């Protein structure tokens, strides 16, 4: 049993949040939970993902405006398929929605990225996986506004940190989304929390074996692949506790991560002081 206690503040007051979650969420499969993957698309023919992608759309131009139409072009780079594969391994019954904003080589336009996030928010997908970002300052304000809209719509946005030391948006907006960087532990349930850091949560992201193009697999390293681990965990939590708000989910993750830290400290102490 995990006790979650925190304070949610707004301009008028602070509300004490106190609730408990039992470990039964770890046995769930993400059934009925909607997950949007904003990326390079998803290879729907991959064995690990067949029948799990409910809709695929792709960014296109219409008179200088970004629109999204249904798409059957799959994945242009493998990146989106890899992220979806990680989520599916943790939450095999989650419902995937592919929003394709990246092309070959995993490259894309910032305007399409913004439009993809706005599309996901309008559709009110429960979780949004953002294993991408931008370092261009002109996108700071519009991304911040979109994250506020996501929060108000009940969408939980999870973003990967930049792999380079340069900050990227929106992962640095840690107060309005869940930001993730990689660590070396392979257990998806043993995620960590670094209080006070810009990127607060850590999850597996080193040599991750996951789905790739042409029904193949790759071992990949990067913050991009830590992000979907947390998305998968959230899908399990939301199946068990569907009424959780974005704030409550974030508070629950922090409480669970603290328990993980305490367990790891005990484990380390036991290993350093073996019994005679």
Catalytic residues: 39, 79, 224
DSSP string, 169-232: BTTT-TTTSEEEEEES---TT--EE-TTSSS-EEEE-SSEEEEETTTEEEEE-SGGGTHHHHHH
């Amino acid at each position: 049993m995990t006790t979650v206690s925190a304070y949610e503040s707004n301009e008028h007051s602070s509300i004490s949040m106190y609730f408990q979650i039992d470990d039964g969420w770890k046995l769930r499969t993400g059934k009925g939970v909607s997950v949007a993957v904003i990326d390079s698309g998803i290879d729907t023919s991959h064995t690990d993902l067949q029948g799990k992608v409910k809709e695929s759309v792709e960014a296109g131009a219409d008179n200088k405006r970004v629109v999204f139409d249904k798409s059957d072009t799959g994945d242009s780079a493998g990146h989106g398929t890899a992220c979806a594969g990680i989520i599916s391994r943790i939450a095999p019954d989650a419902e995937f929605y592919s929003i394709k904003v990246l092309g070959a080589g995993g490259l894309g336009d910032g305007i399409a990225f913004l439009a993809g996030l706005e599309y996901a928010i309008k559709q009110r997908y429960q979780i949004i996986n953002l294993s991408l970002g931008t370092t261009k300052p002109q996108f700071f304000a519009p991304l911040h506004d979109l994250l506020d809209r996501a929060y108000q719509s009940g969408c939980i946005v999870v973003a990967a940190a930049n792999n380079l030391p340069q900050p990227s948006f929106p992962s640095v907006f840690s107060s309005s989304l869940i930001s993730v960087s990689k660590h070396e532990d392979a257990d998806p349930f043993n995620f960590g929390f670094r209080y006070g850091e810009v990127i607060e949560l850590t999850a597996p992201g080193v040599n991750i074996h996951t789905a790739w193009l042409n029904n193949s697999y790759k071992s990949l390293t990067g913050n991009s692949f830590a992000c979907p681990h947390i998305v998968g965990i959230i899908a399990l939590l939301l199946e068990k506790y569907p009424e959780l708000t974005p704030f409550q989910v974030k508070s629950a993750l922090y409480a669970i991560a603290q328990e993980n830290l305490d367990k790891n400290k005990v484990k380390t102490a036991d290993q350093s002081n073996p019994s005679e």
